[in-house]
Structure 1
Amino acid sequence: MALPSRSLLRPRQGILLYLLYIIGALSLGFVLAIWYGINTDRDYIHPLLTQLIPAGHCACETSTTFQCASCLSCSKHSLSTQLTPSTNWVFEYERDGNNEGLNRHQCDAAFPGLFEDVFRAVTYWRSHGALAAEDLDQIQLQPGMARAAIVRGELYVIAGRSKGEDHRRKILAVLSAIHRALVADSQRSTRRDIEFVFSVEDKVQDVTSAEHPVWVLARTANEEAVWLMPDFGYWAWDNPDNAIGPFDQVVERIRQRDIPWEAKKQQLVWRGKPSFAPKLRRALIEAARDQPWGDVKQVSWPDRTNVLSMEDHCQYMFIAHVEGRSYSASLKYRQACRSVIVAHKLQYIQHHHYLLAADGPDQNYVEVERDFSDLAAKLEPLMQDTSVAQKIANNSVKTFRERYLTKAAEACYWRHLLDGYESVWNGSSTFTKGSNLYQTERGLRYESFVLLESPRMFEFNAANS
């Protein structure tokens, strides 16, 4: 049997090599196109490329449904001890909104439903054998995490890791918020000693397993072991691109610059970076593109393109809210406006999300699908009858700006978080090391920690101080 000559094989090999080059080039082009679609902040990319972008952490099938409408009218739970309640006391925003020292019964009366996630975490850990120091020892601190303790009513920092100023500022803000709530606590001297670990990263999985009892800023529905804490921005927030300040100061600026409902722009406004969640955010951009009611644009912080202050957002009747890598910390600022918040079905839960009401007499925002396919259908009727939209906006102000996002509410939440955590904490009460003559505390008092130079905070361990 005759074998093919070398002269016949060479053309075939050349064709195969050519096909391999073509396939390789197309594959490289596809990868580069996807990378570009995920990372660019340009206003427009081809719709086909938008469809090819993977959902990633914004997978639509994992959105969360909130079913806590009763939270707005009654308190279902209480961790408070059986003391005589002040039956005649009623929360008043102007008088009590900045009062960080409300007692436990006043907190329960003023903010029903705010503490739902604390009760959930308590139930989870009671069913899993409570907590001990060994549970915390299993958590390896990553940048953006800290370990702290409350001992004899005082806040101590045991260890903390920061990868630069961003982490350091956020950790310091969380510690400061805890300290503020603690010093206003009338029961401070009788609190049990506890230790805890918290993270200021966007997602639990960025730093550790969701099976650990970490205090976090947001969680998904299946991350049941973690404890939700208020966002660091309630204390204050500032970064090189955008100086915001304390949350209550932002609210006051918004109140002072607010305009009558009839004078607001009858449009939906959104500003943000598409690359933080490209699949999700580009869906909003495309849904609003060329619509007369759409003022949806990407921002560029370096050259300040399309940047709007939070106060300027409030000049619009409708404000869109879109999640980022996980939750978006901007929701609380948007809820400070007397405007209608339009949000997709949320995947991440924050501590105050249980008070969101998408329908009914207490409706305080408009919920749309995660792909924004029903955005126009939900928005246009409200554009035609702005009195309905005004009621939703008023409900939002009454629920959030004037109650559940106040300094009083934040302090109450922190203390309820401490109460709940204490109730399942079985850790050792020993907070000193060494012999009786040379005992040293395992942590550094908060008041001393805040005086440290920034570099010493980056990789802090009280044991080495």
Structure 2
Amino acid sequence: MATARLGLGFVCGLLLTLLVLQTLVFWHYSGEGSSPLIRTRPTASLHNAHIDQPWHFDTARDANNIALTASQCDAAFPKLYAEIDRSVKLWHDKKHIITAEDTSISWRRDAAFRLLIHNNTLRILETKDAMNDAYRPRVLAVMNQLHNALLGAQVSGEQLPDIEFAVTVDDMSLIPNGNDTHAIWAFTRRLVDRDQDRCWLIPDFNFWQGGPPGTGSFYEAGRRARRNDGAVAGKIPKVVWRGVAWTNEGLRGPLLEKTIGKAWADVEETVWENRTNFMELDELCKYAFVLHTEGRSWSGRLKYLMNCDSVPIVHNLDWTTHWYHLLVPKGKQQNHVPVKRDWSDLEKKVKHYLIDTPAAQRVAERAVETFRDRYLTAAAEACYWRRLVEGYSEVAVTPEIYDSSLVGEKSLRGISFEEFVLLGTEWPSPAVTGR
């Protein structure tokens, strides 16, 4: 009987202990107090203080995140938006607000279209010989890039302004010369042509997919390139280049001539018809030096070369893109080796860095750090598109959203991106009626 009473007392004591602990937990989480025996949970103020801690971009975590917040975009890519800032300043200085008439593409024969962004969604207003075999891949690539960026804004809670604008996917904008107010979004602009300053630069179609069939997306190509990562001193001690000469004979022809028979160079012209001298993009990364050349205007090759952890060699450029201002030719942040357009110093530069491998390694590491790991990521691309929409809206009129030609009916202008992709033809399309 005594044993039974003892057991009953033990159980009662245990229950009482549990009741006390339960009370303490309730007391703690209801904000009435805390106990040194229990892991504390942050109060609202402490939690907010934690959120307010500086956010830092982490490549492994954030490189493919297209839904960074606007403040995270600023923190991650503070140097990315120079071209946008330049364009905004240009139109402010002109004291001209970009109108719907300024987005006309009547001056283009082909490869152009007009778009409307409304409520973070993309609508196609007009295409002009843009859906032929030559330009369709570029058109769909650009629209998908922008569509992705708008989805990222939606997820991050950022409401972008409504804008109406024109785009060309040609290698050259061919924007009208002289005292003109047309504005267009383009891949590149020529630095010595002041008329082309009116171009708003966008990430080119290669950021979606621009390599040969089987290359995959640009970011997949980057993952394959990493398979050949290694110290510069352990790579093939040559500068490598593959391409066709005809796109810029005056530049590429002399390169082929100056590198014939050179032990430090593996430079060959590719014949696409039979794939003579063809080399996969990631194979280039096996070489210590990767060489960039402009083509008909800019060339998309440079971003692919930046996927390597090799030393990029870049000649003096006539054309720029939305990220070329990040190229640093000298100093502690040097991230490429500059050479002259006539290649007269190419051999000297290559031989110098073949001897000074520590310097070559530093350049390669800065290139990876700046471009592959940060400014040429999917996150950076999405942030740029969203900032471009914001910047453009500062100097453009608020567009008409609804079709004014439809009396008594409220219908959005143009066609949705989703429907356009399925339609697959020029817009307006005679195959679609009732709009």
Shift of 1:194: 0.8
Structure 2 residue matching 1:245: 3-state secondary structure: coil
> Residue in 2 aligned with 1:231?
204
Distance in 2, Cα, partners of 1:428 & 1:318:
48
Does the aligned pair in 2 maintain the 1:152–1:189 contact within 8 Å? Answer: no
Shift of 1:257: 4.0
Distance in 1, Cα, partners of 2:321 & 2:65:
22
Poorly superposed stretches of 4+, deviation over 6 Å: 461-464
Structure 1 residue matching 2:153: 3-state secondary structure: coil
Distance in 2, Cα, partners of 1:220 & 1:238:
24
Shift of 1:106: 1.2
Does the aligned pair in 1 maintain the 2:241–2:266 contact within 8 Å? Answer: yes
Distance in 2, Cα, partners of 1:451 & 1:290:
52
Q: 1:399 aligns with which of 349, 370, 385?
A: 370
Does the aligned pair in 1 maintain the 2:402–2:410 contact within 8 Å? Answer: no
Does the aligned pair in 2 maintain the 1:153–1:188 contact within 8 Å? Answer: no
Name the CA shift for 1:409/1:316 in 2 (closer, same or farther; >3 Å): same
> Residue in 1 aligned with 2:90?
124
Alignment: residue pair count: 376
Name the CA shift for 1:298/1:196 in 2 (closer, same or farther; >3 Å): same
Shift of 1:208: 5.2
For the pair 1:155 / 2:125, whether they are aligned, the reply is no
Distance in 1, Cα, partners of 2:318 & 2:52:
38
Distance in 2, Cα, partners of 1:405 & 1:463:
42
Name the CA shift for 1:440/1:141 in 2 (closer, same or farther; >3 Å): farther
For the pair 1:144 / 2:111, whether they are aligned, the reply is yes
Q: 1:89 aligns with which of 55, 63, 80?
A: 55
> Residue in 2 aligned with 1:365?
336
Identity rate of aligned residues, in percent?
35
Does the aligned pair in 1 maintain the 2:231–2:361 contact within 8 Å? Answer: no
Gap regions ≥5 residues in structure 1: 1-84
Output the amino acid matched with 1:181: A
Distance in 2, Cα, partners of 1:460 & 1:377:
57
Output the amino acid matched with 2:242: R
Distance in 2, Cα, partners of 1:463 & 1:355:
47
For the pair 1:98 / 2:64, whether they are aligned, the reply is yes
> Residue in 1 aligned with 2:74?
108
**Per-residue Cα deviation, 1:111-157 (whole angstroms, up to 9, x for no partner):** 12110000000001112212111211364443211100001221101
Q: 1:164 aligns with which of 116, 124, 132?
A: 132
TM-score (norm 1): 0.77
Kindly report which structure 2 residues correspond to 1:317-396, keeping only aligned pairs within 5 A, or say none.
317-396=288-367
Shift of 1:245: 2.1
> Residue in 2 aligned with 1:217?
187
**Per-residue Cα deviation, 1:321-340 (whole angstroms, up to 9, x for no partner):** 00001000111000110011
**Per-residue Cα deviation, 1:71-92 (whole angstroms, up to 9, x for no partner):** xxxxxxxxxxxxxx95511111
Does the aligned pair in 2 maintain the 1:364–1:395 contact within 8 Å? Answer: yes
Output the amino acid matched with 1:214: I
**Per-residue Cα deviation, 1:18-48 (whole angstroms, up to 9, x for no partner):** xxxxxxxxxxxxxxxxxxxxxxxxxxxxxxx
Name the CA shift for 1:251/1:138 in 2 (closer, same or farther; >3 Å): closer
Distance in 2, Cα, partners of 1:423 & 1:150:
14
Structure 2 residue matching 1:426: 3-state secondary structure: coil
> Residue in 2 aligned with 1:26?
none
**Per-residue Cα deviation, 1:56-103 (whole angstroms, up to 9, x for no partner):** xxxxxxxxxxxxxxxxxxxxxxxxxxxxx9551111100111111111
Q: 1:196 aligns with which of 151, 165, 174?
A: 165
Distance in 1, Cα, partners of 2:401 & 2:266:
58
Output the amino acid matched with 1:173: A
Name the CA shift for 1:175/1:387 in 2 (closer, same or farther; >3 Å): same
Does the aligned pair in 1 maintain the 2:105–2:112 contact within 8 Å? Answer: no
Output the amino acid matched with 2:204: D
Distance in 2, Cα, partners of 1:89 & 1:136:
38
Does the aligned pair in 2 maintain the 1:86–1:106 contact within 8 Å? Answer: no
**Per-residue Cα deviation, 1:222-253 (whole angstroms, up to 9, x for no partner):** 221110000111122355xx442211111111
Does the aligned pair in 2 maintain the 1:144–1:200 contact within 8 Å? Answer: yes
> Residue in 1 aligned with 2:382?
411
> Residue in 2 aligned with 1:421?
392
Structure 2 residue matching 1:317: 3-state secondary structure: strand
Name the CA shift for 1:463/1:323 in 2 (closer, same or farther; >3 Å): farther
Q: 2:248 aligns with which of 258, 267, 277?
A: 277
Does the aligned pair in 2 maintain the 1:340–1:365 contact within 8 Å? Answer: yes
Distance in 2, Cα, partners of 1:259 & 1:192:
45
Distance in 1, Cα, partners of 2:433 & 2:310:
50
Does the aligned pair in 2 maintain the 1:159–1:460 contact within 8 Å? Answer: no
Does the aligned pair in 2 maintain the 1:122–1:424 contact within 8 Å? Answer: yes
Q: 1:293 aligns with which of 261, 264, 268?
A: 264
Name the CA shift for 1:464/1:340 in 2 (closer, same or farther; >3 Å): farther
Shift of 1:169: 1.1
Distance in 2, Cα, partners of 1:407 & 1:172:
17
Q: Which has the larger radius of gyration?
A: 2
Does the aligned pair in 1 maintain the 2:125–2:415 contact within 8 Å? Answer: yes
Output the amino acid matched with 1:213: A
For the pair 1:304 / 2:275, whether they are aligned, the reply is yes
